[in-house]
Every structure is written in C-alpha cells, then in structure tokens.
Amino acid sequence: MPSLKSIFLAARPKTLPAGIVAVWAGCLIVWKFQQHLPETGIRLDWMLAVYTLLSCMCIQIACNFFNDSIDATKNADTDKRQGPRRITASGEMSPLAVKLWGCVFLGGAALFGIPLILAQGWPVLLIGIPSMFFAYGYTGGPWPLAYHGLGELFVLLFFGLVAVAGTVFVQIGWHPGYMEIYAAAFIIGIQCGLLSCLLIEVNNIRDRKEDATTGKRTLAVRLGDKRARGLASAFLLAPYVTLRQTAFFLPGFQWNLCWLAAIIAGGFILLKLHTMPANRKMNMLLGLSSLHMVLFLLALTI
C-alpha cells in the first residue's frame, strides 16, 4: 500500500498554486468591483468560491495522477529523470491504481461542480466538461497535448483564461453591463496563464534531455535549451508588461510593497533561468516560480 506521503507527492503540490491562483484571481476581480464600484450590484459569493476552488483543484490533481500513470506506461519517466520521484515509475503503485486515483478526483470535481451548475445553469458544463476531458487528454488519449508541444497552450487556456473567466462567470453570470468585469478577467486570465506556463516550461527544460529520448516532444525539446529558456523568460516578463492594462480595467489597482517582493523573486528566477543547469537544481526554481505566482496575485489583491 502506498503511503499518504507518496499520494500527496503524486499530486505535485509545487504545481497546485496554478489552480489556486486562477480561482483566487477570478474572485479577486469580483471583490474589487464590489468594493470600488458598488453600483454594479455584484457580490462575491464565498460558498461558490470555495466550491469553484475545490472543483478546480480536483481537476488539476486528477491531471497530475493521469500524467504520472501515463508517462510511466509510455516509459517517459526513466532512471535519468531529474524531477521528483514518480509514484508509478518507482513501482510503488500500479498504473491502473494511479489512474483510479485520477478518476476519484475527477469525480470530486464533478461533485463540487454541482452547486456551480445550480447557480448559473448549463453553461457551466461548457467549462467543466472540456476541463475534465483535457485533464486526461493532456498526456493521454490518441493525441496527447503534452507529447506534441501543446502543453503550454493547454495551460494558458485552462489554467488562465478558462479558470479565471469561468470563476467570474460562476459568480456573476452573463450580462452586457458586465463587459468591464470580463475585460479584467481576460487580462488577468492571460497573466495567470502565462505564469502557469512558466511552471510547465521550467519543468520541461529540466526534463528536456530525457523527454527527447522517450518521444515526448515538448516545446523545450522542439525549441532546444536556449530558446526554451528564452520562452520561459517571456512567460515571466509578459504579465508585468501588461500591468498597465490591468490597472485600467481593475478598480482599486495600486502599487505596493508586494510588487517589490514579486519583482525581486521574478528577477532571481530570470537570472537562474539563464545560469542554472538543466538538472535537479531546477526543482528549487519550480517551487520559486510557484511562490512568485502567489506574490504576483497578492500584489494585485492588496
């Protein structure tokens, strides 16, 4: 029997801020409009926020379990692996058992999604069903996205635009008078998606040599080390370049000390992206990138 610690590590906790931050960002947008433009009449529903977060987290954890199982089945996780130990490849759990864990979390996502459907109706299914499908299709199915260099596009869409705008939709529904709110969701959704892409790119740069030998054609494999690091740098810098648009659409935006902390962390990541070798040391950079994402959203919140 696998230990709880192994199951916890298989959920890949260092990557989970991507899902948390997206829901946080969507709720932040609604809360900012509630506080600074009360004439809009919108109110943040905290219970819906909790259900949204739980559903999103379950989808992300399911995706991680499927990824663990499928990569091991395809021999994409070898003894050359530089990242954290995988529960399937190590032999601690069978591929089927790990997939079943993924299905359990997909079931949890569906269960937590019921209040969201009751709140806003069938359009929520247009968000939830594709998200759940691609939790498996990211590495599984006849045309796995991660194996064809489309992992970053998936993350940009589903951990950025879809998650942030979907959270906003669950809170306020759709109304032509809310276009400014959805414009803010679009801008911040792109920023969250890009910062999530940074996590994926750091991971893929670290594993590039191994992936190249196992048929996993990630963007890092296709671009090569130098250009992949340049792309990761662009994922990091672009959210800051678009802050002017964020300030225009998000009421109550202000500069604060959290921005300084985020910029310092981002600068350190940028330095390490171009100096750190692609080995186990990048696991630290992955954790720091998660922390930076939290700092970025914290700065937007204050």
Confidence (pLDDT) at 83: 60
Query: Could you tell me the residue range of the domain that residue 199 belongs to?
Result: 4-301
Tell me which residues of the chain have a pLDDT lower than 50.
none
Q: What percent of the chain has pLDDT over 70?
A: 96
* R_g (Cα) of the chain, nearest Å: 19
pLDDT of 249-274, one tens digit each?
Answer: 999 999 999 999 999 999 999 999 99
Q: What pTM, to 2 d.p., does this model score? A: 0.92
Let me know: does 101 contact 236? Beta carbons within 8 Å. Answer: no
Confidence at residue 81, expressed as pLDDT on a 0 to 100 scale:
59
Token pair 């992300």: residue: 60
CB neighbour list of residue 86: distance below 8 Å, 6 or more residues apart:
10, 68, 71, 72, 77
Which candidate, 301, 210, 205, 287, places its Cα nearest to that of 258?
Answer: 301
Cβ atoms of 117 and 125 within 8 Å: the answer is yes
Identify the CATH number of the domain in which residue 28 sits: 1.10.600
Structure tokens at 131: 């998200």
In angstroms, rounded to a whole number, what is the distance separating the alpha carbons of residues 42 and 243?
A: 24
Q: Check residue 80 and give its pLDDT.
A: 61
Please give the tally of structural domains in the chain: 1
**Is the sign of the CA dihedral 115, 300, 246, 259 positive or negative?**
negative
